[in-house]
Amino acid sequence: MRIGSQAPTLAVILPYSKTYGQEAVDLYNTTGRTAQEWQAQQISHILAVNEDGLFTHMNYGLEVPRRNGKNEVIVMREMWGLVHGERMCHTAHRTTTSNSAFRRLYQLLLMAGYEEHNRKKKDMPDKSFFASKQYGLECIELTGGGSIYFRTRTNNGGLGEGFDLLVIDEAQEYTEKQQSALVYTVSDSKNPQTIFTGTPPTAISAGNVFPKMREEATLGRTQDTGWSEWSLDEIPPDPMNVEHWYKTNPSLGAILSERNVRAEYKGDDIDFGIQRLGVWLKYEQKSAISAGDWDAVKVAKMPPLMPERYLGIKYGKDGKNVSMSIASKTTDGRIFVETIACSPIRAGDSWMFDYFHNPHLKGVAVDGQNGQLVLSNEMKAHGFIKPKLPSVAEVVVASQMFEQALFGGTICHTGQKSLADSVTHCERRAIGSNGGFGYRSIDESLDISVMESMVLAHWLCATSKGNTKQSISY
């Protein structure tokens, strides 16, 4: 019988000479189940120790497509931890997932010959345990051994608690805010370990820690970290080629059948590629505006422009930067956009004044409570054009008009990198109370105010009435 590849397609394993992996496999096998070769290999890496008896991999990432049995690797680790007196926490994105993990370990302990007893019973026998089954607060405590708690992740959950092992289930949904709340929970342990397990993120996945961990580990930028994955580099031309299936699914032919995999495919190559073939798409795939969308309206050189100019200025919500973009109608009826600058707010606004002197300037829109009124007052004091301070409703309209122009092909640009990076790493954010939206960045290193200033400039240009003389009245 043919089975999937037992070796990962990509692995970063630190050298070791000793492991408790076989001990964990033997304990697991007392349940009546038998660890597969790839599962035994993974638990060997996870439970490897150095000369001081400390885990070789303080952090370990395991990515395997769905339904292959990666949770069995985790339960092996947890059973071993219970027997060796560890205090553990298994976290998941959803309560249903953490509850399933609890029920899996609970059932396997019974299958391994352990007996459940009430906590209050005295002189509990060996191979017994207490289990709290309260939904969302499940835990198991082994007599004379360790304990494990099952929790749903939040942005502040876990603070004040201490563990030896932290399991990050559904790691593709693990966010940096959750990491900030949980990372210190293992700091006090003499031999801590954190295991990340999941699949590549989809377009709607909220997490950013797992892909960053993968990148850092595979580029050799980490210490005390291991990583294993079963994956393809890209979506194949023919996702239904079974050779791809056997390469990326180690349990295919064992607990997973070709027939079931074939039934999973519903015509969506990307979803199938991520979930079944382990393809890691670029982070920007999550963006509301893709690189392809933005490149579709790129021009090779600056098109002929009408003389009127419109500026959009956006003060960032974080109070750090202010961005300015410019827009002008082309002679063929499109609107050309470009970003002028993104500058620290603390550097002041005087750098903008040269642009306000432009005799062809017909409108300025300024948004952002961190500087909107200050700049408006400065412009009044210098006798510059009166700025438009858009309402929430107008910002919503500006965002809608931008997307209509983008997908209608009535906006254009020359491929300016700073603007392209901001636009192609954005997601919608709800604003107002009637289903309106604006934008926020999905990459913390990029400033969304660059895009937002461009959207404002485009809106002013698109709604202008042509060469009407601008009146200044404060």
For the chain, which residues make up each domain, given as ranges? 10-281, 291-463
- Of 143, 134, 147, give the one whose Cα is nearest residue 105: 147
pLDDT tens for each residue of 187-236: 999 999 999 999 998 766 778 899 999 999 999 999 999 999 999 999 89
Fold of 10-281: Rossmann fold (3.40.50)
Tokens encoding 442: 């999905």
Contact 313, 352 (CB under 8 A): yes
What's 291-463's CATH class? alpha beta
- The three-state secondary structure class of 459 is helix
pLDDT score at 159: 53
**If you write DSSP's letter for every residue of 195-223 in order, what string do you get?**
EEEE----TT----HHHHHHHHHHTT--S
Low-confidence ranges of the chain (pLDDT < 70): 120-122, 156-160, 203-204, 282-286, 433-434, 466-474
pLDDT for position 314:
97
Please report the pLDDT score of residue 282 as a whole number.
63
96 vs 138: CA distance, rounded Å = 11
211: how many CB neighbours lie within 10 A of its CB?
19
442-473 b/e (C-beta count within 10 Å ≥ 16 → b): bbeebbbbbbbbbbbbbbbbbebeeeeeeeee
pLDDT at 318: 84
Q: Are strands 128-132 and 139-142 parallel, antiparallel or unpaired?
A: antiparallel
Residue-level pLDDT at 434: 67
Provide the pLDDT for residue 285. Answer: 47
Instruction: Name the token pair of 153.
Output: 């992740």
Tens digits of residue pLDDT in 280-308: 976 444 678 988 899 999 999 999 999 99
Angle between helices 70-83 and 95-111 (to 10 degrees): 60
**pLDDT score, position 284:** 42
Distance CA 226, CA 416 (A): 38
